[in-house]
């Protein structure tokens, strides 16, 4: 059994997640936030179903392999193509 530490949601993530019209349309993946230290970044992604997933760089997720996470985006490998998700402006 693994244990996870609970973290406080960064202010910018909370603002984006609760601001009307910011998250875009259903049917697409939306990057909600990026958190963690520079060498261990994690991304919170909203799925078209309304569920969220937390993923790490060089890991796999329900979305497929995660190739990279930086301060403003996450890059996934989907269907043999790279897909970049950027934080909402």
Identify which has the larger pLDDT, 66 or 13.
66
Residue-level pLDDT at 72: 93
Identify which has the larger pLDDT, 62 or 82.
82
CATH class as words, domain 11-86: mainly beta
Average pLDDT, the chain: 80
Domain ranges of the chain: 11-86
In the predicted model, is pLDDT for residue 25 greater than 50? yes
Which residues neighbour 82 within 8 Å (Cβ) at sequence distance 6 or greater? 67, 75, 76
Note if the pTM is more than 0.85.
no
Residue 72's nearest CA partner among 45, 34, 25 is: 34
């Amino acid at each position: 059994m693994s244990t996870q530490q609970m973290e406080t949601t960064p202010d910018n993530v909370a603002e984006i997640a609760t601001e009307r019209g910011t998250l875009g349309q259903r049917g697409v993946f939306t990057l909600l936030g990026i958190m963690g230290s520079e060498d261990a970044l994690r991304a919170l992604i909203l799925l078209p179903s309304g569920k969220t997933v937390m993923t790490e760089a060089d890991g796999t997720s329900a979305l497929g392999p995660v190739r990279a996470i930086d301060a403003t985006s996450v890059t996934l490998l989907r269907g043999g193509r790279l897909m970049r998700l950027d934080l909402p402006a």
